[in-house]
Amino acid sequence: MTFSEENYLKTIYHLTTHLNTEISTNAIAEKMETKASSVTDMLKKLAEKDLVNYKKYQGVSLTENGQLAAKMIVRKHRLWEVFLVEKLDFSWDEVHDVAEQLEHIKSEKLINKLDTFLGNPTEDPHGDPIPDANGNIIKVEKQLLSEIGIAKKTICVGVRDTSTEFLQYLDKQKIALGSSIEILSKEEFDASLHLKVNNQELVVSSKIAGNLYVQLI
């Protein structure tokens, strides 16, 4: 499988887990910053290889084969992110681009030994689940902070936006995976939240709250 084919599969996989319908050509094109015509060409090729179900004008979904292949790429991406943070001392906002490259290294032995070396982690540095060697994923209950009621006590367990800007904002506010977050009050006007984060009070916008995953304690 080529570098490019792998990136298409991964994109379709991510779009499928967020939305839950057939994926449109344009959605793929937008996410990959390419043109719809290029997407169409690739979808034909992937369909030929039985990696996607594709009917003209009808959108696309992953086949069993395609889904497993996509999960293996995601597995590699997230394991490498763990490696970079845990072993090489990268910060969580620096790992994505390097992992985008490392995810395409082809060696089952490598990825499984890496998995062992890292202690078979189930989540990456952003709280996203890591598929095991068979593609199984441990699903953890989590909700967006924006969807939680007042006076609830929670733990931060993930981020929805993984951009450098957002992650660095969280660093600045000392919010990390594992931080305790209590919702003190919500401002009606703009849905901003008054929080207690690790015993420090903090006000965050609804945009921030809509990108933080938490678990109720």
Partner DNA sequence: AATAATTTTTAGTTTTGTCTAAATTTTAAT
Partner DNA sequence: ATTAAAATTTAGACAAAACTAAAAATTATT
Among 9, 12, 43, 175, binds DNA (CB under 7 A): 43
The dihedral over CA atoms of 145, 149, 150, 151, expressed in degrees to the nearest 10, equals -90
**In what helix (H) or strand (E) does residue 206 lie, and over which residues does it extend?**
helix 206-209
The reply on whether position 49 binds DNA by CB under 7 A is no
Please list, in sequence order, all residues whose beta carbon lies within 8 angstroms of the beta carbon of residue 179, skipping any fewer than 6 positions away.
155, 156, 197, 198
For DNA, give the closer residue by CB, 61 or 215. 61
The reply on whether position 107 binds its own copies by CB under 8 A is yes
The reply on whether position 57 binds DNA by CB under 7 A is yes
The reply on whether position 26 binds DNA by CB under 7 A is yes
- Give the count of alpha carbons within 13 A of 185, CB side only: 4
Task: Compute the least distance from the CB of residue 20 to DNA, in Å.
Answer: 16
- Only one of the segments 13-21, 126-134, 151-159, 178-186 lies at the binding site for Mn ion (rule: CB under 5 A); that segment is 126-134
Q: Please give the Cα distance from 85 to 77 (Å, whole number).
A: 13
Tokens in use for 137?
Answer: 């994923």
Residue 181, strand partner residues: 154, 197
The reply on whether position 35 binds DNA by CB under 7 A is yes
The interface partner of residue 89, options being its own copies, Mn ion, DNA, none and the CB cut-off 5 to 8 Å by kind, is its own copies
The reply on whether position 120 binds its own copies by CB under 8 A is no
Instruction: Of 32, 14, 104, give the one whose Cα is nearest residue 40.
Output: 32
The reply on whether position 89 binds its own copies by CB under 8 A is yes
Which residues of this protein are in contact with Mn ion, per CB under 5 A?
81, 96, 124, 126, 128
Which residues of this protein are in contact with DNA, per CB under 7 A?
2-5, 24-27, 33-45, 54, 56-59
